[in-house]
Amino acid sequence: MSPSQITEDYYMILEVGQNATSEMIVAAYKRLALKLHPDRNLNHDTTKEFQLKNYNKLKLGQAYDTLKDVSKRREYDRRRPSINREYFSHQSTQTSRPDSTSTSRPESLSEAAQIAALQKLKHDRDEKWRVRKIAIELSIFELRRGIRQLEQEIKILNITLAAEAVAVAQKNSWGAWLLSAIYKRAEDSEEEKARKDRGIQERRIEKDMKERWLEFRKVSLKNEEDLLRRTKEEVDAADLCDNKEIQRLRDVMRAREQMERQEKERIERERLAKIWKEHQEQREREEAERFRKTPADIYAREQTQRRKESNGQKYTNFDFGNKGNGANRTSSCKHQGWWHKV
């Protein structure tokens, strides 16, 4: 497999830390292979997961083949930071760029669907980060335990070497020489001296190797702690970007809902204004009709009054005429005044 084709975090697949030993890698591979093997687990969901997800035989085999080989693992470790960045970048943009088979324009998705997709992306990222964090923290724990053990072993070796150095110095001192002459102490044989010297040299070499291992473990611990910090920063940055996008989409939804609400209110106001206008026009028409009919009624009443007054005046003139003439005509009446009594 060429380096350009590596896009998976093999340490995450095997659930081990970057400083895992060969024995830890082999044990992790066997554990996952047995756990997900369909012949060992008849659960259909586990079988499907074994076939479709990253923890299948192909991915486990690729991770195991790469990490168990020293040269391949060294090259992979050199490229691993860029692989992690590409992985999290791909996960961050996977949902924001929908599949072309489903839609040719991401804008065609509704804001609610985009928010749901981003939330699912965040959930998946958090799950992967949780697994990755556990693996890194386990590696950090093992490194710290190994460091404490090496420090204790180096401390014991230092005490032993110091005691042996004191014993050799005392043996070669003047006092020891004088006492040996007085008490006639038995000298060690050449073989015993060679054995002791060889033991001292072996302990010194062991101490030097353990100190080198201790320094390497401390560097590895710092690298793992830095990796944990950087990975968390990348996850937090991706979550922050998604949160901003979710907030923007929610703002768009609220703005659209506000516009729709304002449009409904405008339509309702126009409807009420139209009703009020129609009612006002109806009242104006009724008022105009009332004022239009009033002069005719007044004119009709005036005509009736005039006719009544005209008729009354005519009857009054007729009575007065008769009374005036009657007084003059009584004396000349041929009926001897009795007519007016009839």
Distance CA 229, CA 248 (A): 28
> In which domain, by residue range, is 134 found?
111-274
Residues 257 and 186 in one domain: yes
Alpha helices in the chain (DSSP H): 10-14, 22-36, 44-52, 57-68, 70-94, 111-171, 174-183, 190-329
Confidence of residue 263 (pLDDT cuts 50, 70, 90): very high
Confidence of residue 216 (pLDDT cuts 50, 70, 90): very high
The domain that holds 220 is classified in CATH as 1.10.287
Residues 138 and 270 in one domain: yes
Residues 79 and 118 in one domain: no
- Provide the pLDDT for residue 106: 43
- Provide the pLDDT for residue 321: 47
For 26, list phi and psi in degrees, rounded to 5: -65, -45
Distance CA 49, CA 43 (A): 10
Q: Which DSSP string do the residues of 75-130 spell out, in sequence order? A: HHHHHHHHHHHHHHHHHHHHTTS--TTT-S-GGGS-HHHHHHHHHHHHHHHHHHHH
Residues 150 and 223 in one domain: yes
Residues 118 and 250 in one domain: yes
Q: Give the tens place of pLDDT for each residue, 95-144.
A: 444 444 344 334 445 888 888 888 998 999 899 999 989 998 999 999 99
- Provide the pLDDT for residue 342: 47
Residues 73 and 141 in one domain: no
Q: Give the tens place of pLDDT for each residue, 44-103.
A: 454 444 444 444 667 778 888 888 888 888 888 877 665 555 554 555 454 444 444 344
Residues 46 and 184 in one domain: no
- Provide the pLDDT for residue 48: 46
Quote the number of domains for the chain: 2
Residues 65 and 198 in one domain: no
Q: Per the domain annotation, does 245 fall within a domain?
A: yes
- Provide the pLDDT for residue 60: 77
Residues 147 and 60 in one domain: no
pLDDT exceeds 90 at position 184: no
Give the closest residue to 62 by CA, choosing from 103, 16, 98, 8.
8
Last residue in a domain, options 29, 54, 87: 87
Last residue in a domain, options 234, 253, 274: 274
pLDDT exceeds 80 at position 253: yes
Last residue in a domain, options 274, 294, 318: 274
Residues 245 and 197 in one domain: yes
Residues 128 and 199 in one domain: yes
Confidence of residue 274 (pLDDT cuts 50, 70, 90): very high
- Provide the pLDDT for residue 112: 86
For 23, list phi and psi in degrees, rounded to 5: -65, -40
The domain that holds 50 is classified in CATH as 1.10.287.110
Residues 117 and 255 in one domain: yes
Q: Give the tens place of pLDDT for each residue, 277-336.
A: 999 999 888 877 776 666 666 667 677 777 777 776 655 554 444 444 444 454 555 555
